[in-house]
Chain A
Amino acid sequence: MEEVIIDAKRLVKRFPGVVALTDISFQIRKNTVHCLVGENGAGKSTFIKILTGVYQADEGEILLNGKVHKPKNIRESRKAGITAIYQELNVVDDLTVEQNLSLGKEKHRWGIVQRISDLGKVASILKDLDPRIKLNQKVATLSVAQKQVIEIAKAISSDANIIVMDEPTAAISEEEVRRLFEIIQGLKQQRVTVIYISHRLSEIFEIGDYVTVFRDGQMINTLAVEELNQNGRSQASVELVKMMLGKVLAEHYTPSDIDYQTKMLEAQNLTNNTLKKVSFDLHKGEILGFYGLVGSGKTETARVLYGLDPFEGKVIIKGKECRLGKVRDAIKAGITMIPEERRAEGIFGVLSIRENIPVMKMGNVLKNRVISRFKERNLALSYIQKLRVAARNEEQSVSFLSGGNQQKVVISKCLNSESKIFLMDEPTRGVDVGAKEEIHNIIRELSKEGCAIIVFSSELPEIVNLCDRIILMYEGEIRKVLKNHKDIDSEEIMHIITGGQWGAS
């Protein structure tokens, strides 16, 4: 067995209101590909950030080659031989490959760059990794995978012996994934340890030597992939998913009162760059859930229905085909969206609650075609009361509210648009548990009032506690539509959204 290179001992990390890591202990062995899996917020990234010096652990320690490793920043961890390659790549598009490789290390005299005569080993490492990349090529002309290769080359040349890859395959094609895996195999021969984070379980079986499962800030298990694979791959997936999710219960699920005779929205064969023939119906009073991994097409479906992205196919609203080319078309058709990024896309931070709420339909606060402050105030107060927004008063700037209350303002804004169809993209991301429950109740209330709601979420508990039907997506396709009930099988769900064919195994 290989010797231990990283030994995490009883790591604890707390953030205000949350414990991100609880007593994490596990070992990573030299010269292996060690995979970390878990849902969003399970603690993988927090662990990586402690390892690379972005955060400092509150308790516990990491031993690197037997010595205490406590980097105060990324630079220090780099010195210790650890490099992380993130999804947001650190390459400059407008420079050539050569300029990127030497960035920050240019030889210069009085600030004038001298001709770079030898890139030394970086160039040869890059050539080994991918001979098709030319040094004088602009980085902008490379594919995402090739940009990753440049980062990998930089990492190896800086004598990194541990490389962290955070979802490297999220944005690259199948062929490029192949190539990346070959490179990772090659890295092992160069005595590099790879820590690999991915949502795609199939990849773990393909290149992983070990896998550590995180859930709710805890280390659930660390095992050898070989051992896991003993009973066949599909059994192994199920095992992993079980560990990742624990037991997901639909205990708060109450069926909505759905009017199956009234179709609020029919999507027929929605197709674009990501989506492949997505078709579904949405009924009056229904809460429909879209569940899938990052890149599965959830958000893309929402964007198409809100007129943000071009598509082929048909959207029929209340029996009439609808052209959705612009947001205004969607709002006119009675569709409204609660966007994924609340701060960047939902609220007007410097404006008050009173000024935020009527924005989507100013007609409701006009009197003789002029904005009535009185009406604005009454409207704001009614929503503050109805959704129980915790604010000093209606004049408070929205940026000063908590996440949950900001989200309630966004929902108020959408309610004021008097739409009947609500697209909710990650409606409770980044809000605390209490507010989450309240927002779920607001959604249930809306369905009772005869609205139809589509919830796009990456949190399975949210989906199974809220939605009447669950659409499972994988790589832009609808793989299965499940009717929700109290004993819904979360293993089946996880299996399908990771690309497995349920029942085929």
Chain B
Amino acid sequence: MTKAALKGLIQRQEFVLFAILVVICTVFTIITPLFLSAYNIGNLLKAVSMIVIVACGGTLLMMTANFDLSTGGNLIFSNIIFAMTCLAGVPVVLALGITILCGCAIGAINGTLVTRFAVTPFIATLGTWFVFKGIAKAITDNNEIKAGLPKSFDFLGQAQLGPVPMPVVVLVVIVVVFLFLERKTLLGKYSMAIGGNPTAAYLSGIDGNKIIFLLYTITGGLAGLAGSIAASRIGSGNPRMGDGFEFDVIIAIILGGTPLSGGRGTILGTLIGALIVAVIGSGLNMLGMLSFWQLVLKGVILLFAILLNEKLGK
């Protein structure tokens, strides 16, 4: 490898992040050797899978300088829809399909608000966050849906493919698909162009609104998938879960090197960003740190991520 190429690699945000991830993992392993156990790693990846799945769509979306706060509301809503359809006797696979479609519909509402009615993404997706979180709580009276669920309900969240938990399998599949979308398709290319210079994109004949609408819809669908996994993992539909999910997603994306102003970003960076947040959380849990302090830490990580973005982005 030439010197210049090496320098280019070191300056890439993914590389910096990866180095940080390795350092953090090493530190935790030294303090508590159990950290590296297969059990702990498996749990960690399961926990992070939902965030990464949604953040994959969210990354492309944020590259266009848009973002989605509603994914948390969508997750809870989807989680309930998945449980209710399964409870109604719909085969699990079909129920999953329906849930994902519902998620897409929520995304499409966001997309319509933003592209057709020119509502700012913050307000549009905050609105749908409230609406669908509210609906989920209202139709369940804020109670769990547990009794009478079929056994197959647990498959998506608890089954294993060999030694690998099912949510991790889904995570890998989604990441691979989005790496491909990002690097090899017009969708990824145009997302970058729209965020980088919307006027130039328009004058180059790119239909920005169509792409943005599509990305909101995709992100919504992914939140539907993540909501189904979440329900299946705990074996019930629970309207009280998923607090702060939307922010975990956004922290992962920003830490991964996609600025709110768009134009840049990578799926790989988002994946590593999500892992860093998850690893710190899991490690501190094992050290017995109160989860309230972890909130503080998350805030610090987010601010650090923004500063890192500024430094490396220029």
> B188 → chain A, closest Cβ, in Å?
8
**Which of A327, A328, A348 has most B Cβ within 10 Å?**
A348
- Chain A residues lying within 8 Å of B201, measured Cβ to Cβ, are 348, 359
Which chain A residues in 264-321 approach chain B with CB under 8 Å? Answer: 306
Contacting residue for A348 out of B183, B185, B197, CB 8 A: B197
Cβ contacts under 8 Å, B193 to chain A: 348, 351, 359
Does A404 touch B at the CB level, under 8 Å? no
**Is residue B264 within 8 Å, beta carbon to beta carbon, of the partner chain?**
yes
Q: Is the CB of A359 within 8 A of B206?
A: yes
**Binary CB contact string for chain B from 178 to 213 against chain A (1 if under 8 A, 0 otherwise):** 001001111001001100110111111111000000
Closest to B202 in A: A327
* Chain B residues near A339 (CB-CB < 8 A): 200, 203
CA distance A344 to B197 in the complex (A): 7
Given contacts A351-B193, A370-B184, A371-B185, contact A345 B199 (CB under 8 A): yes
B263 within 8 A of A: yes
For the complex, give the distance between the alpha carbons of A355 and B188 in Å.
12
B155-199 vs A, Cβ < 8 Å mask (1 yes, 0 no): 000000000000000000000000010011110010011001101
**Residue on A with the closest CB to B186?**
A362
Minimum CB–CB distance for A425 against chain B, Å: 11
**Is A469 interfacial (CB 8 A cutoff)?**
no
The residue from A337, A344, A370, A371 contacting B199, defined by CB atoms under 8 A apart: A344
CA separation between A481 and B30, bound complex, in Å?
82
Q: Does A211 contact B (CB under 8 A)?
A: no
Given contacts A344-B199, A347-B197, A350-B263, contact A371 B205 (CB under 8 A): no
Are A371 and B183 within 8 A (Cβ)?
Answer: yes
Q: A328-B205, A337-B203 are in contact. Are A348 and B186 (CB under 8 A)?
A: no
Closest to B196 in A: A348
The answer to whether A359 touches B204 (Cβ under 8 A) is: yes
Chain A residues, CB < 8 A from B264? 350
* Complex Cα spacing A417 to B205, Å: 10
Whether A347 and B184, one on each chain, are in contact in the complex, defined by CB atoms closer than 8 angstroms, is no
Count A/B pairs, Cβ under 8 Å.
Answer: 59
Q: Chain B, 48-71, contact with A by CB distance < 8 Å: what is the 0/1 string? A: 000000000000000000000000
A409 to B58 Cα, complex, angstroms: 31
B207→A348 contact, CB < 8 A: no
Q: How far is the CA of A327 from the CA of B183 in the complex (A)?
A: 26
What band does the interface of chain A fall in when counting residues whose beta carbon is under 8 Å from B? Answer: 20 to 34
Whether A360 contacts B205 in the complex (CB less than 8 A), given A371-B183, A371-B189, comes out as yes
Q: Tell me whether A328 and B197 are in contact (CB under 8 A).
A: no
**A413–B193 CA distance with the chains assembled, in angstroms:** 13
A229-250 at interface with B (beta carbon < 8 Å) = none
Across-interface contacts of B203 in A (CB, < 8 A): 306, 327, 337, 339, 345-346
Chain B residues, Cβ within 8 Å of A344: 197, 199-200
Chain A residues whose CB sits within 8 angstroms of the CB of B189 once the complex forms: 355, 359, 362, 371
Report whether A349 and B186 are in contact in the complex, using a CB–CB cutoff of 8 Å: no
A493 within 8 A of B: no
Q: How far is the CB of B31 from chain A (nearest CB, A)?
A: 40
Q: Tell me whether A331 is interfacial, beta carbon within 8 Å.
A: yes
Taking the closest CB of chain A, its distance from the CB of B30, in whole angstroms, is 39
Contact at B185–A345, with CB atoms within 8 Å? no
Mark each residue of chain A from 328 to 368: 1 if its CB lies under 8 Å from any CB of chain B, else 0: 10110000010100001111111100010001101000000
* Complex A-B: 30 CB contacts under 8 Å: A306-B203, A327-B203, A330-B205, A331-B205, A337-B203, A339-B200, A345-B197, A345-B200, A345-B203, A346-B200, A346-B203, A347-B200, A348-B192, A348-B196, A348-B201, A349-B196, A350-B196, A351-B192, A351-B193, A355-B189, A359-B189, A359-B193, A359-B206, A360-B205, A362-B189, A370-B180, A370-B185, A371-B185, A371-B186, A371-B189
A residues bordering B, Cβ < 8 Å?
Answer: 306, 327-328, 330-331, 337, 339, 344-351, 355, 359-360, 362, 370-371, 413, 417
Residues of B with Cβ closer than 8 Å to A?
A: 180, 183-186, 189, 192-193, 196-197, 199-207, 263-264
User: What are the 3 closest A-B residue pairs judged by CB atoms, nearest first?
Assistant: A331-B205, A348-B196, A370-B184
Beyond A327-B203, A346-B200, 8 additional pairs, beta carbon < 8 A: A306-B203, A344-B197, A345-B203, A348-B192, A348-B196, A349-B197, A355-B192, A360-B205
